[in-house]
Amino acid sequence: MSSPALQPVKAKKILIIEDEGDMCLLLNIILNGKEMELDHVKDLSTAADYLKKEQPSVIILDNKLPDGFGVDFISFIKSNYPAIRIIMISGFDGSAKDVALENGADIYLEKPFTKDQLYTSIKGLLN
């Protein structure tokens, strides 16, 4: 009797909404090889189009973007895609934390954050 074939672990999809190239590179380095499939967009309008086709498990959302503020986009995500978990990241202004959490962000990380803070936050949301 043969043993059943092992199925590969399906990677969890993470969408990064961030316009700064250096931060995107850093996030990719931190999360690469962690059984996560990463996608990236640079603004809110592209993110809205992306979400019509794909539903990631977690969104890493920057606050200050070229076409608006991430804190204002949180309610759009939660009203249309309530299962998606959101990590808000911001170096812009610590006062955004309360608004982000009130609007439905699951976690708020202020830049600079450590790779352990980010990875632990994502793993906590995926479990």
| Residue written as token pair 């931190």 | 30
**β-strand pairing of 68-69 with 36-41:** unpaired
Token pair of 31, please? 């999360």
* Residue range 5-43, pLDDT digits in tens: 444 445 689 999 999 999 999 898 888 877 889 999 999
Does the global pTM surpass 0.85?
A: yes
Q: Does domain 12-126 have CATH number 3.30.210.10?
A: no
Instruction: Provide the sign of the torsion angle of the four alpha carbons 95, 98, 99, 101, taken in this order.
Output: positive
Domain boundaries, the chain: 12-126
* Residue range 87-117, pLDDT digits in tens: 999 876 667 899 999 999 999 999 888 989 9
